[in-house]
Amino acid sequence: MKGIDGLELSPKKTEYIKFIDNRKNTRTNEIAREFKVDPSTATKIIVELSKTDFISYKPYHGCTLTHKGKEYARFLNRRHGLLVCLLVELGMSKDSACEAVCKFEYFVPKEAVDNICKKLKHPGSSPCGVRISGDRCCCCPGEGD
């Protein structure tokens, strides 16, 4: 995916995007339940997110990821997966690597992710089971952006 640096969204919004991914139509009260926040808080964040072109939101109908949002979700999974691959490569167990990555993945720029991808020769999935889809920006042989 071109034109992003990977630092567009706050950690919370990143998690919202991952949650909405793979769902048909996500209601704000489902999000509120999942993230244990007040429905009004969930709605507020969704309204903010709908100002980006990652999600489309219709009040009372719920929200879905746009094409661009789906691509971004793919990048988020790829970033998580590659960081876990890296830490496992450095000797960590897959569980502690996955747990550690969840604490800092939000702050790793795409450029670093692409370089990890190259260094590890474009792995297709992470030890913790996340699918890493290709991205032409790092010359992955995969589907690209």
Residue owning tokens 């746009």: 66
Task: Tell the smallest beta-carbon distance from residue 19 to Zn ion (Å).
Answer: 15
Given the complex with Zn ion, which of 55 and 85 has the nearer CB atom? 85
Given the complex with Zn ion, which of 70 and 79 has the nearer CB atom? 79
Task: Tell the smallest beta-carbon distance from residue 126 to Zn ion (Å).
Answer: 6
Task: Tell the smallest beta-carbon distance from residue 66 to Zn ion (Å).
Answer: 24
Task: Tell the smallest beta-carbon distance from residue 91 to Zn ion (Å).
Answer: 17
DSSP letter for each residue of 64-101: EE-HHHHHHHHHHHHHHHHHHHHHHHTT--HHHHHHHH
**Diameter of the chain by CA atoms?**
48
Given the complex with Zn ion, which of 88 and 117 has the nearer CB atom? 117
> How far is 2 from 9, CA to CA, in rounded Å?
16
Strand runs labelled E in the chain: 55-58, 62-65
- The 10 Å Cβ neighbour count of residue 43 is 18
Which residues sit at the interface with Zn ion, rule CB under 5 A?
84, 98, 117, 122, 128, 138, 140
The length of the chain, given as a count of residues: 145
Given the complex with Zn ion, which of 42 and 137 has the nearer CB atom? 137
